[in-house]
Amino acid sequence: MPGQDIHVNKYSAEDWAVMEAAYKLAYQHIGHIPQVKPNRLARSIMTFFDQGMHSASILSSLAMNREMSLVDAARARGSTADNDDMIASDDALYYDWKTFEWKDSTTN
């Protein structure tokens, strides 16, 4: 049905907890790098979670590797990561790294 929130009940509280733990771990390791995009990192975690990876440490590792690959590619081209906002498959949900909360951009 048009207008229905497709994200309702997509993830359980346990799913969110795993993704949050993965994000905090990843951000602790690479968040100090200026070109790292926190929302893109969170979306990567969500994408890998959706693909069946449900371990916080594995999610964190995969997301860090993806993010650093994107940062390195941008550096190699001489551009900033801001110009290369490659996002995960879910455009509406993102992780607010300042408040450590998941948010839905369609309702903000």
Residue 13 lies in a domain: no
For residues 38 and 98, the model is more confident at: 38
Local structure of residue 51 (DSSP, 8 states): T
Residue 16 lies in a domain: no
How many structural domains does the chain have? 1
Residue 6 resides in a domain: no
Model pTM score: 0.67
32 occurs within a structural domain: yes
Question: b/e map of 17-28 (b: 16 or more CB within 10 Å)?
Answer: ebbbbbbbbbbe
Q: What is the pLDDT of residue 10?
A: 84
Q: Using 50, 70 and 90 to split pLDDT, how confident is the model at 79?
A: low
Does the residue 5 lie in any domain?
no
In a domain, 18, yes or no: no
**Digit-coded pLDDT (tens) for 1-57:** 454 555 557 899 999 999 999 999 999 999 899 899 999 999 999 999 999 999 999
Question: What's the confidence (pLDDT) of residue 14?
Answer: 95
